[in-house]
Amino acid sequence: MAKKPTRDAHLGNGGELHQQANAEHPPLTTQQGLVISDNQNSLRSHPQGPTLLEDFILREKITHFDHERIPERVVHARGTGAHGFFELTHSLEAYTTAQVLTEVGVKTPVFSRISTVAGGSGSSDTPRDVRGFAIKLYTAQGNWDIVGNNIPVFFIQDAIKFPDLVHAVKMEPDRGFPQAASAHDTFWDFISLTPEAMHMVMWIMSDRTLARSLRMIEGFGVHSFRLINADGHPTFVKFHWRPKLGMQSTVWDETVKIAGADPDFHRRELFEVLGAGEVAEWEFAVQLFTQAEADKFPFNHLDATKLIPEELVPLQVIGRLVLDRWPDNFFAETEQVAFCPSHLVPGIDFSNDPLLQGRLFSYLDTQLSRLGSANFTQLPINAPKCPFAHQQRDGHMQMTQPAGRVAYEPNTLSADAPRADRAKGFASVALDEGGERGRVRAASFADHYSQARQFWISQSEPEQAHLASALVFELSKVEHPHVREAMVAHLLVIDEALGQRVADGLGMDKLPAPATPAQPVMDLPPSAALSIIDNAKDTLEGRCVAILVDDGSDGAAVAALKKAVEAAGARVKIVAPKVGGVTLANGKKLAADGQLAGTPSVLFDAVALVLSDAAGKALSREAAAVDFVRDAFGHLKAVAADAGAQAVLKAAGIQADAGVLGADDADAFVAAACTRQWAREPSVRTLA
Ligand code: HDE
């Protein structure tokens, strides 16, 4: 058991509190190991006098503090990290020599960082944004970083456009806002001039960008990579991570409110569940295909604005990723971790995707300015866990002390100097790259609308309504009418009805002429994998349910609900008007996990209210309680309420439906809580 810290202290002359070292608490020292006698008072010339420059202890402490911050990531600044492992379940030996993909059952340690893209490191967890999904696998053959996103396609086809894209989405340079939001003129101006972004626009306006939990998103390597087998034969591969808990999103109004109620919503949840011994788990799957197969695709797989439909190349599940340990120190690990798509292992190689090719340069370069030294690889979170040896030397913050006089290769002066190894070493795939050089885009990259249309028609009805409404929301924040019109012109090409719906939502008097596609738009078949709702798991596992109680609540009803919810794999939080808890009708005290005003229902997947008649009456005049129910209902959640709580439901104007239940049938409540009440949506909001 952890030792309890002692609180012993004495007061100094000025009434300040001093704690002193003792048998349990070692002495506090400077960075040089000098024991500090007084950590409360700086060195003064006399009690009323100025502080002396001589105070090297003060100066060391303040100087270090002044330099605590490093530049945040230029994109993906806000992220949450966790440790875990990758375990291979099916060997890809026929395709690759990479041990991490051939040694079944081996657990490879990993560090993952899931991030938003546009906001600064202090922004909230829940803007409408792509999520970065970066995994560092510390394999026996060196570190392999899969630096992907939760969306399988990207905005642009060529790396040279990336700084423009990011400048467009970030805070506008003259005003310094909006933070972490694409709903502004510069973003949509750029996008409206970038037809290749239209497929990605469909994804970011869909519920994919409104993640319920970091454990409920997919991950994609996005680009094609190559696997190389023992004969040197290449096979193309796409990487996929599929969440064990299924995918789930929030609804937009809920998302907006979560940002206010808990800006750390995703980070806190992962912290809490890992601390409670739960894990976050994904299946690892690959799509494998040959050049000959790729030649028959109706698109170019080297174009990162395209995905390969699962119907065309099925996913093969070959392993799992488990995150099970929160980092010890956020800065040392989550902030200092340096992912680079160029970190790979023998048996894996890049493709010629022009976006990937640019990334191979960018990430190493950005680490140099962010972490300040070419020795960032020596930080514990970045160092390989396999043996490594090289002749790279010196530089800022060199942490190693290589012995001997040899720091070059070849040499004859060192008996054990490292040497290249042709058999085991990394080999780039042999390719004939003949052709004319030039600043060109392949003609096979020119179809920008077919897969956007495919995504749209693959969405369920509620998802289509959300997507169209998201476009209306975003474009309503755009001040320039010509930008709105240009976007509607693209949407009309994707799907006429979509363009019309958005134009209506924007109150446009006249439809603009549709944009002119460079190539005829194909009618691709819908792909079942693209909808979240159609693929939702009927489960409460990994979710969180609130029970609102007050003095006089029925303890047996609370216990029965809690038992049923926990049996379904979800967590329960007790919400009460005071955090100290309540006295139940049976006289027992029940502690609260959250205070009503600070713990709104947006933080939960379903809510139950167990209230005495008197408490129900009192809370029906309490805005926080009424909003608690109104929001849960408006966000399509199951609501269970006993007789006493009916007064609150009435005050919230709740019309009973299949998702509004009594509090006496815990199993029925759990069954209803497993899914959102989509049928309710048209009765609570008008969507585009
Ligand atoms: Fe990144 N990206 N990116 N990106 N990216 C960075 O690297 C860049 C792209 C992605 O948790 C930066 O360490 C360029 C696609 C993730 O630490 C930077 C291009 C995908 C993360 C950078 C792209 C990503 C980054 C900023 C266009 C999905 C966070 C800080 C060619 C496949 C990793 C850093 C973490 C971070 C550059 C496009 C994913 C500046 C030039 C496509 C998950 O190097």
621: Cβ contacts below 8 Å, ≥ 6 apart: 651
Instruction: Decide: helix, strand or coil at residue 641.
Output: strand
**Catalytic positions:** 76, 149
Q: Where in the chain is the domain with CATH 2.40.180.10?
A: 57-378
Asked whether 572 and 673 are in contact (CB, 8 A), the reply is no
Question: Cβ of 167: how many Cβ atoms within 10 Å?
Answer: 14
Neighbours of 71 (CB within 10 A): 12
pLDDT of residue 227: 98
Question: Which CATH code is given to the segment(s) 542-684?
Answer: 3.40.50.880
CA neighbor of 282 nearest in space, from 249, 316, 334, 319:
319
The response to whether residue 238 sits with its C-beta less than 6 Å from ligand 1 reads no
Q: Locate 614 and state its tokens.
A: 């008197």
Relative to the CA of 362, which ligand 1 atom is closest? 44
Distance CA 176, CA 289 (A): 45
Distance CA 288, CA 362 (A): 27
147 lines ligand 1 (CB under 6 A): yes
All residue ranges of the chain with pLDDT < 50 are: none
Measured CA distances, 240 to 221, 224, 288 (Å): 6, 11, 11
Q: How far is the CA of 531 from the centre of ligand 1 (A)?
A: 26
Q: How far apart are CA 530 and CA 609, in angstroms?
A: 36
Q: Which tens digit of pLDDT belongs to each residue from 422-459?
A: 999 999 999 888 899 999 999 999 999 999 999 999 99
Paired tokens of 136: 């560092």
Strand 219-220, strand 234-243: pairing: antiparallel
Helical residues (DSSP H) of 329-449, grouped into ranges: 354-371
The tens digit of pLDDT for each residue in 164-179 reads: 999 999 999 999 999 9
Nearest residue (CA) to ligand 1, atom 23: 359
Does the beta carbon of 148 lie inside 6 Å of ligand 1? yes
Q: What is the 3-state secondary structure (H, E, C) of 549-587?
A: ECCCCCHHHHHHHHHHHHHCCCEEEEEECCCCCEECCCC
- State in Å: Cα 53 to ligand 1 middle: 44
357 CB within 6 A, ligand 1: no
Q: How many Cβ atoms sit within 10 Å of the Cβ of residue 104?
A: 14
The answer to whether the CB of 113 is under 6 A from ligand 1 is yes
127 burial via Cβ count (<10 Å: 0-12, 13-18, 19+): buried
Dihedral (CA of 331, 334, 338, 344) sign: positive
CA distance 88 to 100: 7
Tokens at 394, concatenated: 């010196």
Domain with CATH 3.40.50.880 in the chain: 542-684
Q: What share of the chain is helix, strand, coil (3-state, %, to 5)?
A: 35, 15, 50
- Token digits of residue 141: 């053959």
Task: Please give the Cα distance from 53 to 50 (Å, whole number).
Answer: 9
CATH class of this structure's domain 448-534: mainly alpha
Q: Which of 203, 306, 359 to mutate to test the pocket of ligand 1 (most atoms within 8 A of CB)?
A: 359
Task: Provide the edge-to-edge strand list for the sheet that holds 660-661.
Answer: 594-595, 571-576, 544-549, 606-610, 639-641, 660-661
In 216-301, which ranges are E strands? 219-220, 225-228, 234-243, 280-289
C-alpha 120 – ligand 1 centre gap (Å)? 14
Q: Which residue has the tokens 């087998």?
A: 229
Closest-CA residue to 310 (of 218, 196, 214)? 218
Q: Per the structure block, which two tokens stand in for 629?
A: 């129910």
For 145, 342, 565, the CA distances from 110, given in Å and listed in that order, are 9, 17, 32
Minimum-distance ligand 1 atom for the alpha carbon of 163: 41
| Euclidean distance between CA atoms 34 and 266, whole angstroms | 41
* Token couple for 354: 């022009």
Q: Quote the ligand 1 centre to 38 CA distance (angstroms).
A: 46
Nearest residue by C-alpha to atom 7 in ligand 1: 363
- CA pair distance 325, 472, nearest whole angstrom: 41
Angle ∠(377,380,385) on CA atoms, nearest 5: 85
Sign of CA dihedral 259, 264, 267, 273: negative
Ligand 1 contact via 154 beta carbon (within 6 Å)? yes
Sequence length of the chain is 688
Distances (CA, A) of 506 to 205, 475, 509, 681, 687: 16, 8, 9, 21, 12
Q: At residue 502, what are phi and psi to the nearest 5 degrees?
A: -70, -40
**Distance between CA atoms of 319 and 675, rounded to whole angstroms?**
28
Q: What is the 8-class DSSP label of residue 249?
A: B
Q: How many CA atoms lie within 13 A of 446 on its CB side?
A: 10
Q: Is 162 in the pocket of ligand 1 (CB under 6 A)?
A: yes
- Amino acid in position 190: F
Q: Identify the residue whose C-alpha is closest to ligand 1 atom 29.
A: 76
pLDDT at 487: 98
List, in sequence order, every residue forming a beta bridge with 286; answer none if it has no partner: 239, 316
- Residues 117, 491, 150, CA angle at the centre, nearest 5°? 25
C-beta of 339 in contact with ligand 1 (< 6 A): yes
- Whether the full predicted model's pTM is greater than 0.85, yes or no, is yes
Does residue 222's CB lie within 6 angstroms of at least one atom of ligand 1? Answer: yes
pLDDT (0 to 100) of residue 2: 63
Distance CA 89, CA 283 (A): 10
Quick one: pLDDT at residue 433? 87
Beta strand ranges found along 229-290 (DSSP E)? 234-243, 280-289
Work out the end-to-end distance of the chain between its first and last CA atoms, rounded to an integer number of angstroms. 57
Mutation to probe ligand 1, out of 70, 72, 74, 76 (largest number of atoms < 8 A from CB):
76
The reply to whether ligand 1 has any atom less than 6 angstroms from the CB of 85 is no
For residue 76, the CA-to-ligand 1 centroid distance in Å is 7
The answer to whether the beta carbons of residues 334 and 81 sit under 8 Å apart is yes
Please work out whether the CB of residue 134 comes within 6 Å of at least one atom of ligand 1: yes
Q: Is 347 exposed, middle or buried (0-12, 13-18, 19+ CB in 10 A)?
A: buried
Backbone Cα Rg of the chain = 29
Helix (H/G/I), strand (E/B), else coil: 624:
helix
326 with 275: CB under 8 angstroms?
yes
Report the b/e string of 223-253 with b at 16+ CB within 10 A.
Answer: bbbbbbbeeeebbbbbbbbbbbbbbbbbbbe
Query: Residue 362 Cα, ligand 1 centroid: separation in angstroms?
Result: 8
Q: Does ligand 1 come within 6 angstroms of the Cβ of 77?
A: no
- For 293, phi and psi rounded to 5 degrees? -70, -40
Residue 557: φ, ψ to 5°: -65, -40
Place of tokens 């048996």: 347
Predicted confidence at residue 315, as pLDDT, reads 98
- Alpha helices (runs of H) in 70-223, residue ranges in sequence order: 162-169, 185-192, 198-205
Ligand 1, atom 43: closest residue by C-alpha: 132
Residue appearing with tokens 């395709």: 95
| CA 117 / ligand 1 centre spacing (Å) | 9
**C-alpha of residue 226 to centroid of ligand 1, in Å:** 20
Options 2.120.10.30, 1.10.150.20, 3.40.605.10, 2.40.180.10; CATH of 57-378: 2.40.180.10
Q: Please, what sign has the CA dihedral across residues 260, 261, 266, 267?
A: positive
**Which are the contacts of 314, defined by CB distance < 8 A and separation ≥ 6?**
287
